[in-house]
Amino acid sequence: MEKESLVPSPHSLVGVPASPRRIRRMDIRELRTDEEIRDSFPLLSSLRDRIRAETFLREVRRQQIEGYRLFGGFAGGRLVCLAGVRRSHTLARGEHLFVDDLVTLEEARGKGHGAEMLRWLAGRSRAEGIERIYLDSRATAKGFYEKQGYTMMTSIPCWRGTSGD
């Protein structure tokens, strides 16, 4: 059996149970094929309005070169939750998992799918010796993440365009 890992890999990995006390509502697996990734576009585009269907696969593949992994949560065979993550190391944070994207199908929200995905990712991270998970949250999701045990930090992401200088 293949060793489970958050290290970027071209191979699909089998997930560890989120917790022995919890019943899994979803089957979670990495989306690897072009078809699986394309099929996830409608859900991910509900979170990221700048992405376009015609460039989506290319953008995901580009991020995968840098370690991005896209995991889908399936309930009843239907994609209900997505997480895009990458293992990272920075001077400020050390070794950590960064959750770039987390989204649940609108009609499936409030059923525990997002929380289950985060627990699953935490279990995988622990198995790899990664002690922390970081993410950027929208203000509207602050309560959700606090319920999951996340601590809100004071950093404020900033950006600016490079044209016009």
Q: Name residue 70's beta-bridge partners.
A: 84
| 3-state class (DSSP) for residue 107 | helix
In the chain, what percentage of residues exceed pLDDT 70? Answer: 84
Superfamily per CATH, domain 27-147: Gcn5-related N-acetyltransferase (GNAT) (3.40.630.30)
| Mean pLDDT, rounded, of the chain | 85
- Indicate whether 7 pLDDT > 80: no
pLDDT at 22: 54
Please tell me the least confidently modeled range out of 20-29, 56-65, 82-91.
20-29
Question: Where are the chain's structural domains?
Answer: 27-147
Q: State mean pLDDT over 31-50.
A: 97
Tally of CB atoms within 10 A around 68: 19
Residue 102 phi/psi, 5-degree rounding, is: -145, 120
